[in-house]
Structure formats: C-alpha cells, structure tokens
Amino acid sequence: MLRLALVAGSFAAALAVGNLPNTGLPDGFVAVKGTQLTVGDDCHPFYFSGWNSWEFLELASEAPSPPFRSTPLKGKQHVLNVMDTGVKAGLKVIRLWAHSMTPGWELQTGPTTYNEKVLVGMDFVMDEAAKRGLRIIWVLADNWYPLGIDQQVKLGGASRHQDFYTSAAVKAGYKRHIAFLLSRTNTLNGKVYGQDPTVMAWNLANEARCQGCPSSAMQSWVSEMCAAVKAAAPRHLVSIGYEGFFGPASSKLSENPGLGGSDWASREGQDFTQNNLDPCVDFVGIHAWPDNWAMRGPKDLTNYIESRLRETAAVIKKPFILEEYGKITNGDTTHKLRNSYFAAAMAAAEANAKAGGPLMGSLFWHLYDAGMGPGQYGVHATDSTWSLITQHTGVMNGLYASAAPTCAAA
C-alpha cells in the first residue's frame, strides 16, 4: 500500500493546502540516475509535461506597470491562475525567469543590492508552487533582454556582451549573485532557496550565446558557473539552458539550423556535445524555434529534435528535456499552423520516451492566463492548441505512472 501511495503521489496530494490542485508528485528532490530523471525516495522515473512562463516575477511582485502584456487582474492572481490551469491539466514542471525583465523594476539594483519587493515576489512563486507540488526550473539570466546578461556585464564594469563569458570581474559578480540568490531564506515558508526541493533545476542562462567566441570560452564558463550553483545548491540539478547548436569543430554542422549552407549557428559560441559532457551538467536541454530559424515545415522541427536526441543517447548519455518549443500564430485564431508544429514536437518527444530514450520531459512556450496578451507565442487554455497539450500531457503522465521505481524507498 505504501508503495502504491508513493507511485500515485497520494502522499504529496494529502499535504496539499485546502482545495488547491496538486501534481501528486512525491516529496523530495528531482535527481539523475543514469539517463533518467527521478523523483522521490524510491527513484521513480520522472516523465513529465510542463510549460514556460517568463514574466512571473513582475506579476508576483505587483510591478506598477504591466510587464509587456495586458494584465486585467492583480499580478499575483494571474500567477495563481496560470499555476492552477497547468496543474489541473496534469502539467508538473514550470520553467521561470529568476529575474525581472522590466527596466525600472530590476531584481538586482547594483553589484550587491537588490529590490526586496521582487525578491518577495519570488518567495511567493516558490511558496505557491510548493503548495501545488509543482517543480520549477529557474533561469538565472536571459540573453535577449537588457535585464539579463547585459545587465550582468554592466554591473561587472564591462561593456561587451561577450564579456559575460570572458571577463573575470563579470564572472565573479555573477557567481556572487548566484550565491546570494540561492542562499536566500523564503520569507513566506522559511526554506532556503538552495535547499528547497520545489526547485528542480537551475539554467545557467537562457539561450547563452557568445557570438564569434572560441568554443573554449563557453566551455570554461559552463564549468565555472555550474560549479557555483552546485556549491550553493548541491542537491539541485543544473543545465545550460540554451538552444543546442553544434560548434565549428563538430562533424554535424549540417544538423544546425540555417538554410542554403548558412553556418551562423556554429558561430554562437555553443558546442552542444562538449558543453553537455561537462560532468557538472546534469541533463541536456534544447530549444527549438521554427520561426527564428526559418524552418520550412514541421519536419524540420522534428529533425532538429531527433538529431539532438541521437547525440544525447550515443555520446552524452544524460537525461534530455525539450525545454522550449513554440510557434508564432500570426493572428490565426484557429492555430492550425501552430498546432502542426506542436504536434510534431510532441510526437518526437513521445516516441523517444516510449522507446526508452533519454527524453524525460517537454515544456511548451508559453502559458497565458485568460485576458493576458497580446503575444505571438502565447497559449491560452481556450485555444485549440490546448487539447494537443493535454493529450501529450496524458501520454507523459502515463509513462510516469507505469514506470517502476529504480531503488528502494528510504
């Protein structure tokens, strides 16, 4: 009976607060065993479906102006609604930005100073996720917006985007920031961030790119920053958080995005195989963006995902997560084109997981609450795409439910 309760997650569900929806996941840290992610004391293989939400800290800290989108309700209510929508549908993991995105509402206001309102918002997100049994992948910095990698460069007294990976002062500042954030005690539940099993993993940065840099620059940076996270949160997992491009020395450049022989992806500083072989990196994550990469159809998306799965299975030999996939709607309210790409990504994920491959989970981009928008990539629960997501979630949850624990419970 105890074994069945742990597998079904009823023990965790019994601890749910009030009538809140709950994932039913057992307590404890998500871990790695071989090429699988596991959860719970009995090392239950952790297959899952989840989503991205990138503006939660603004919403949770009640930023005075809406972050990029219309927000008809108070920000915290949108956070709760999105969580509840996801959990009720069976989604178990949410990937979030561990910093604000809105100028004037910075999480980090100086090299060693912080906006406590934003930090309390992060406390709120962690606490509410814990109440629902959600696991979080936190992204430590973003490549694309000013309050991310470029802010870290400025705080470190440097000027070039590439200095994030090469400047000793910038790297030292980033490591101080990591140590500060992961040592924070949640004001709502008393848990230290770096010791909270609600956190599944930390991404070193979202879509880290060091354009024109030698592959050695990012390789060194990955090792250094991963070690910094592990020092502050030894039981949390770490992944890089990027798209997964093969580097210039790879024999697989033809499997990078780029039409007509373009090799732009190989010049972004990434080296998919070698970066992920670093022993500190716990699992492989990739992002796939059909619009940005001028993919010609869903088959191109399938090919990209499957090529990285093959390399992971044959060489890297670690668990694999499809961390981001999305599609611009271009005003198509039927979402027919988006659905074709989502279906392709989900089919590739399901096929690999069912065959015993390294894929353990997928996270679509991204979930909006009712009334939030506009957003070319946003998915609402009223969209036709939602039925594909719930079907895919059912498949991944079925794999989780049928998998046998791989060690004895403590």
Dihedral angle over CA of 57, 226, 46, 306, nearest 10? 100
Active-site position among 128, 207, 268, 311: 207
From the candidates 55, 323, 324, 350, give the one annotated as an active-site residue.
324
| Cβ-based neighbours of 128, under 8 Å, separated by 6 or more | 79, 80, 83
Q: What tokens were used for 190?
A: 């008393």
Q: Which residues contact 254 (CB under 8 A, 6 or more apart)?
A: none
Is 243 catalytic? The answer is no
φ, ψ at 312 (rounded to 5°): -65, -45
Handedness of CA 17, 18, 24, 26 (dihedral sign): positive
SS3 134: coil
Number of CB atoms found within 10 A of residue 195's CB: 16
Supply the DSSP symbol for 286. Answer: E
> Cis omega before residue 26 (within 30°)?
no
> Is 224 annotated in the active site?
no
CA distances from 252 to 11, 246, 309, 354 (A): 46, 7, 13, 26
CB contact at 8 A, 205 and 139: yes
Instruction: Determine the Cα–Cα distance for residues 259 and 227; give it in Å rounded to an integer.
Output: 37
Nearest to 136 by CA among 199, 212, 84, 88: 199
In whole angstroms, give the CA distance from residue 197 to residue 184: 14
Q: Which residue has the tokens 């998500």?
A: 30
Cβ–Cβ under 8 Å, residues 151 and 106: yes
Please choose, from the candidates 82, 195, 185, the residue with its C-alpha nearest in 3D space to the C-alpha of residue 128.
82
Active site residues: 207, 324
